Chains A and B, each alone.
Chain A
């Protein structure tokens, strides 16, 4: 262990030395490490979405807790409105918050601190995933799952087929659990013959119209559990599912197959709220979380994909089949235009809500 972490230390230090071209004194420890006893007597509140996910995160942080001596409290589920209330009242009790894709971008600087990247070792995070106010907490995907016995020899192959109800009849189920699915709207625009490299707000309408055109029987599931239930009972012919839920459904006997072409890249984010009590302790937690070993534990326990590119989690074939960071899958992913969706978040949300409400 000792020599290994020293080696990781050299690699991390080298990467950081490159980053530190700016005059900053470099003191970020390598990802996954923490100074023994450095947080003795301190308390950190870690906020996430509960369930096996948060359990896995806590397991991934166990070494950090043991070494640093910090007392780790858990809270959740993450609710941006709650965080806003804390920030506005000046009494922030959350130290590190796991959020979904957009909030750290939408509320950067207002609810979430701009991160000081000299305090984190981000050298092993997949390219393009570090935001101004966030680092990824894990990766997953949204895949199109189709029902085997419905389509038999002629299954849908991509999002175009998903939107083609003439060639591929059948009910569709879409993630209606929260924020607008930027990636799906972009795919709808593409299927409609449009372009997404210079999207305007008017394109949002086109994309949503295309989704609406699937028909009145479209199901908008509200929770991951519901999507899994839809698959296990065979209620819908094509279901857009989170990879973790898709894996569990297939394990439980759902006869569905994933389409990996242009699967939608999604991630959870780790953030530090504005007004957090002990920022350095928060950084220390995040830096430990980003480490190779922590990420392996996270993936082994949750089946979400690690965000440390050196992590080699030991998982069985059924889990590996739905990991998004395997070379086969990684190259097929489709990354939505986060900048566009953040800039147009309010308009997109209003339109998405109207779609959900049947208008």
Chain B
């Protein structure tokens, strides 16, 4: 999956990753120990992720007393299990919606000229710079029963649809917030696909649909997987959007963690919930990994 950037990019919107090293740096040491380059990120991860994660995990076994009580509690309380499953199902739906919406968009970004591409990139990034809360509140106004979408539907004489405080509403809102995380990895992979391969398939007699399915799609799959994993994992931890756009039946696990920790001060239970979510995510990714790897190989072979 080499991302050769032989396509000229517009307006320097893609700083080369190598740019960081090109300054008047003592080249020798970095060249000898390339891993040094990862140090700042690594230190930040250890301080801001590793240590808190360790504390949370420890507390899930030790608060209020050593043992598995918090995990026993988690799995013996029906609401936790229901909400855990719901969290995964909402995350899956959001991922599916994102793939469907992002794929054609990212393709379009590769197909148009530089100026239009800049516009398309801005369309992705500008909402991204707006706070998630603000965007979610905008969705409240769009989706509510007396909102714009329902007013338009009623204008044409149909009954309104229930959007806000439903799972559908939550999925719509979350997909919009997360769309950039799907579009950007997809675009960066699609940009590297040699379109002459598709032309070759066409010249060998493949119909457009076949050329797409057999050549282009497999080559773009790494981007789909990368984006899907990011979106899926980010979805699992969503808090604001489901709280504002959802009703009781779209509560996600983060809300339950919040109420355990912030209003009940049950750090142990909150920690256990976090650990269960984390482990469940790892298991799911481990199950999906072989599938992806296989596709990956196929893709690089073709």
Contacts and interface: CB of A to CB of B under 8 A. Distances in A.
B259 A349 contact: yes
A222 interface: yes
Interface stretch (A77-85, A127-135, A136-144, A331-339): A77-85
Contact of B263 (A80, A216, A229, A234): A80
Where chain B touches its partner, the secondary structure class is helix
B264 A357 contact: no
Contact of A235 (B144, B255, B259, B263): B144
A105 interface: no
Given A219-B165, A220-B248, A222-B244, A353 B259 contact: yes
B202 to A, nearest CB: 52
B255 A233 contact: no
A49 to B, nearest CB: 14
A234 B259 contact: no
Interface string B255-269: 110011111110100
Given A222-B243, A355-B248, A81 B262 contact: yes
A358 interface: yes
Given A179-B263, A346-B264, A349-B263, A359 B82 contact: yes
Interface residues of B, number: 29
B79 A353 contact: yes
Contact of B248 (A178, A235, A349, A356): A356
A66 interface: no
Nearest to B264: A349
Contact of A358 (B146, B249, B263, B267): B249
B247 A219 contact: yes
A357 B79 contact: yes
Nearest to A346: B264
Contacts of B263: 80, 178-179, 349
B233 interface: no
A226 interface: yes
B144 to A, nearest CB: 6
Kindly name the residue among A84, A178, A219, A358 whose own CB sees the greatest number of chain B CB atoms within 10 A.
A358
B299 interface: no
Interface in B117-175: 140-141, 144-147, 165
B145 A80 contact: no
A80 B78 CA distance: 27
A73 interface: no
B251 interface: yes
A359 B78 CA distance: 8
A226 B244 contact: yes
A353 B248 contact: no
A357 B144 contact: no
A245 to B, nearest CB: 16
A218 B146 CA distance: 16
B242 to A, nearest CB: 10
Contacts of A79: 262
B92 interface: no
Nearest to A359: B79
Interface string A318-359: 000000000000000000000000000110011001111111
Contacts of B256: 353, 357
A207 B244 CA distance: 25
B93 to A, nearest CB: 17
A81 B259 CA distance: 11
B101 interface: no
Kindly name the residue among B145, B248, B256, B260 whose own CB sees the greatest number of chain A CB atoms within 10 A.
B248
27 contacts: A81-B261, A81-B262, A81-B265, A179-B263, A218-B248, A220-B247, A222-B244, A233-B146, A233-B147, A234-B146, A235-B144, A235-B145, A349-B264, A354-B79, A355-B248, A356-B248, A356-B251, A356-B255, A356-B259, A357-B79, A357-B83, A357-B251, A357-B255, A357-B256, A358-B249, A358-B250, A359-B82
Interface of B: 77-79, 82-83, 140-141, 144-147, 165, 243-244, 247-251, 255-256, 259-265, 267
The 10 A-B pairs at the shortest CB distance, nearest first, are namely A358-B248, A358-B249, A359-B79, A357-B251, A354-B79, A353-B259, A222-B243, A81-B262, A233-B146, A357-B79
Given A349-B264, A358-B249, A358-B250, 15 more contacts: A178-B263, A218-B247, A219-B165, A222-B244, A226-B244, A235-B144, A345-B264, A349-B259, A353-B79, A353-B256, A353-B260, A357-B255, A358-B248, A358-B251, A359-B78
